[in-house]
Amino acid sequence: MEATAQDVAAWMVKEIEFRSKLSQSDAVAYIREHFGERFVFVNERGNISLDREVVKAFRKLHGGRVAWDRDGFFWGWT
């Protein structure tokens, strides 16, 4: 069975619940290896980013309980 954006988002929320935060680099590495390249891309600034559908599903799942730290490049509980 092929992974979905919802599967990736659910993994992200579980990681944050377990570790309190999730760095973008760790997320991208894990997602590439376990879910596939289709869930990441290189943005216009040359940075590796998460697929928009993953981000959308992630926001729905955490319901505002997670925030992005721009300086640290990680997500964490608010």
If residue 1 lies in a helix (H) or strand (E), which one and from where to where?
A: none
pLDDT digits (tens, 9 = 90+) for 27-67: 999 999 999 999 999 999 998 899 999 999 999 999 999 99
Annotate 3-72 with DSSP letters as a single string.
--HHHHHHHHHHHHHHHSEEEHHHHHHHHHHHT-GGGEEE-TTS-EEE-HHHHHHHHHHHTT-EEEETTT
All residues at 6 or more sequence positions from 51 whose CB lies less than 8 Å from its CB, including other chains: 5, 8, 38, 39, 40, 41
Q: Give the pLDDT score at 13.
A: 98
The pTM for the full model equals 0.92
Q: How far apart are the first and last CA of the chain?
A: 34
Q: What's the pLDDT at 62?
A: 96
pLDDT band at 1 (very low <50, low <70, confident <90, very high): confident
